[in-house]
A and B are shown apart, each in its own frame.
Chain A
C-alpha cells in the first residue's frame, strides 16, 4: 500500500513508462482472463452437451433480480472511476465518499448473490451437487463472488488506510488506480457471465 518508497521508483528510468504495479495488475488480469475463461467454458460445454439434463434454468433463474444486481455492479464501476479520478486530483474527501459507494454497491451485489444462492438451493432444490449444471454454475459464480468480496476488502483497507498519517493522495494514487483496474475487470467478467450464463438461456436458437 505504501507506494511512497517502493524501490522500483528510485529508478528514474522506466522504459515502458508504465508504473510497475500497474503493469503487474494488467498481467494479473490477463492471467485471470484464462482463469474465468476456463470456468465459463466448463459451464458452457456442459450446458451444450447436456441441454436437457437437470432442471430448466429458466425455471430457476430470477432474471429480474439478476438484471437488477448486474446493473448495481455496473454502477459501482462508475463510482470506482470517480474515486480514481478524485485521488489523482488529491481530493481525499471525494475519494472516500466514492470508495464507500463502490463498497456499498459491491455489497448490494453480493447480498443479491447470497439471496440468489439461498433461493436456488432452499426453495428450488438446485444445489452445488445438482449434476454438472449445479457444479459449474456455483463454482463459476461463486468464484466471481469471491473476487468481488476480495475487491471490497481491498478497497475497505485503502479506505481505512486513508485515515492514517501515512496516506498521501499523490503517492497512493497508483494503489487506488490498481485496485480500480481490478474492480473494473471483475465487473467486465460479470457482464460476460451474465450474458453467457443467464441471458443465453432465454434465447431460442
Chain B
C-alpha cells in the first residue's frame, strides 16, 4: 500500500486565500465519528449506505417474520389487524426504499469511480448530501414506531381520527385509503419520508450520470465501460424520470391532507384512480431501478468466474436500455382490473409481453457467458447462478401477469406476492449479496475462510423457494393479499404453515450471511489486490483502495482493461497520466451536506406532528426548511475547497 503524504490542508499553508467566505475551517483532519459525518469519500459513503441498508434489510425482515407468524395458522390473533396493516406497509416500503435501493446505491458509490478510473464522483459533497437525505427519510418513516410506542405509554396523543401512527396504507398508498378520513398520521410520516427519500435519490442520480459521462479516464469510451457502470447509468436515468411523478403525486396527496384540495378526494370531484396512474408511472420504472443494478453485478461476476469475456457485451447493454425505456410504457399492467377499457388493456398487455424480450436476451447472454467457460464455484458465483435461476422463475410468472385475463384472476392474490418476491429476493437480493461477497475482499482487504458463505447461499435459495413457491398455489386457490387472517376450511392452512417455516429458513440464511461477513471482517485472511483474477480497473489497485483511488489516472486501451493488461499484448497494457507536481487533487470534507439534510428531518417530523394536532409544529416545519436553506448557502459559500495528495511510489498494475 502506498504511503500517501498529504500536504498541509488548506488552512495551514495559505490561510487567507483558502478559508471560505464564512471563515470556517474545513473538517479535513477530523477522525472518528466526525470523519464519517463529514466525509465526501465515495468509498466511505458507500460503506455507510451498505451498513444502513443491511440494517433495514434486517428490520424489514423481522417485520416479514411477524407477518408470517401471524399467518402460520388460521384465525390467528397474534397481532391485531391494525398492526398487521402497519407491518406489511412498513415491510414493503422498507425493503424497496431502505434496503434494496440504498444497497444498490452502495455499489454505485463504491464501484463507479473505481471502474471508470476516477478520483471520486463529480460532486463529492452532493454525494454526502444524498446519503444523509436518505438517512433523514429513513428516520422519518421509522420514527413512527417510536411515536406509536409513546402513544401506548400515554405520552403522545394525536387528535381524533389520526391515531393510526405507523403507515398502514400499503407501500403503494392507494387513494382513498390515504385520505384523512381513513388514515392517521402514519400516512403523513409515509408521505414525508418518501418525499425526502426521493430528493436523496434524485441528487444521487444526477451525480452518477455526470460522473459517468464526465469523469471517465482517458480511453474509457462508453462502449468500454464495465456493464455494472452502464447499468448504473441507465438506472440513474430511470430515477431522474420516474421520481418526479411520485414527488408530484405525494405533493398532491399532501395538499389533500393538509390544505383541503381534492386531487384524490371523491367528495371534491377527485378521482382516486389518478393516484394509481401517477404512482405506477413511478412504480413500474422503480422495479427496474431495483433490478438493473443487480443485472449489472451479475454481468461482472459471471465472466470472472467463468474465465471468459461477457458474451454479447453490447447486446446486454442495449437490452438494459430497452428495459429502461419500455419500463415507462407498462405501468398500467398494475391496473388491469380497474377498467381501463379494451384498447388500453390490450396495449399495456402487449408492451408488458414485449419487455420480456430484452430480459430474455440478457438471460441467454449470461448462459452464453457460462457456456464453455472454466467455472469456479466460489460464493459470489453460487449466488450469481442462484440469481439467474430464481430471477427466471419470477420472470415466468411475470409473463403470466402480462396477459390481462390471467392477471384478473391472479390480481391481489398470493400469486402476485410470489412473483415479486421471486424477482426481488431471487433477483435483486441474491445479486446484491453476490456483489457483497465479490467486492468484500476489495473493500476490506480480507477474504473469508471456511464454507459458511457457500452454505448461506444454499440456505437462502432453499428458504426462498420454500417460502414463495407454495404462494403460487395459495394465490391460485384464491388467498388474497394483505389480509390479516383466514378461516379454517379454506384449504390454505397447510401451505401457509409451510410458507412460515420457509420464511424462517430464509431468515437463518440471511443470518448466516451476516455472521460470515462480520467474521470475515474481523478474522479474514489478507485478500490481495486481485483475488479473483478479475477484469476491471478496481482490481488493479490495492485492497482496500487508498483514499485517492489511483496514484495515476489510468489510460484505458480496451474493454476488460485489467484482464488485457494482465494477459493481452504490450499495446493493451493500461497506461497512466503523470499527475505532475501538484499531485492528486482531493475534495475537502464538509459539515454542510449533513446540515442541509437535517433540515429535511426536522421538516418531515414537524409536518407529521402538525397533522397530529401538536401546536406550533407549522413553525417548526418552516424552521426545518430554513435549516436546509441556510445549509445550502453555507455550502455554496464555503466552496469545494480541496487539497493535494502526493502518493509516494507508484502502483501501476503489475
Could you tell me which A residues sit within 8 Å of B by CB distance?
1-2, 4-8, 10-11, 13-16, 18, 20, 23-24, 27-28, 30-32, 34-35, 37-39, 42, 45-46, 49-50, 53-54, 128-129, 131-132, 134-136, 138-139, 143, 157, 164, 166
Contact = CB atoms under 8 A, between A and B. Distances in A.
A128 B217 CA distance: 52
A157 to B, nearest CB: 7
Interface stretch (B88-96, B386-394, B490-498, B637-645): B637-645
Interface of B: 21, 118-120, 122-124, 202, 205-207, 209-210, 213-218, 220, 240-245, 247-249, 251-252, 255-256, 259-263, 268-271, 274, 278, 281, 553, 577, 585-587, 633, 636-637, 639-642
Nearest to A142: B255
A15 to B, nearest CB: 5
Contacts of A23: 209-210, 213-214
29 contacts: A1-B639, A2-B21, A5-B642, A6-B640, A7-B642, A8-B123, A14-B214, A15-B213, A23-B210, A23-B213, A24-B210, A27-B209, A27-B240, A30-B240, A31-B240, A34-B241, A34-B244, A35-B247, A42-B252, A53-B269, A128-B260, A129-B260, A129-B268, A131-B269, A132-B268, A135-B252, A135-B255, A139-B251, A166-B21
Closest 5 CB pairs of A and B: A135-B261, A10-B585, A35-B244, A2-B639, A34-B244
Contact of A8 (B214, B263, B271): B214
A140 to B, nearest CB: 9
A38 B277 CA distance: 11
Contact of B248 (A39, A46, A53): A39
Nearest to B118: A11
Contacts of B633: 157
Given A20-B210, A20-B214, A139-B261, 11 more contacts: A6-B640, A7-B587, A15-B220, A27-B210, A28-B206, A32-B244, A35-B244, A46-B271, A132-B268, A135-B256, A164-B21
A30 B205 CA distance: 12
A129 B217 CA distance: 55
B122 A128 contact: no
A134 B261 contact: yes
A37 B379 CA distance: 46
A49 to B, nearest CB: 8
Contact of A139 (B217, B247, B255, B270): B255
Contacts of A10: 585, 642
Contacts of A8: 122-123, 214-215
A132 B248 contact: no
Contacts of B244: 31-32, 34-35, 37-38
Contacts of A27: 205-206, 209-210, 240
A38 B253 CA distance: 13
Given A7-B587, A131-B269, A30 B122 contact: no
Main secondary structure of the interface of A (DSSP, over half): helix
B148 to A, nearest CB: 31
B226 to A, nearest CB: 16
A54 B270 CA distance: 12
A33 B118 CA distance: 30
A53 B270 CA distance: 11
Contacts of A13: 217-218, 553, 577
Contact of B120 (A7, A32, A138): A7
Given A24-B123, A32-B244, A42 B274 contact: yes
Contacts of A157: 633, 636
A129 B259 CA distance: 8
A46 B245 CA distance: 17
Given A5-B639, A7-B640, A18-B214, A35 B263 contact: no
A135 B214 contact: no
Contacts of A1: 636-637, 639
A16 B214 contact: yes
B534 to A, nearest CB: 24
Contacts of B241: 30-31, 34
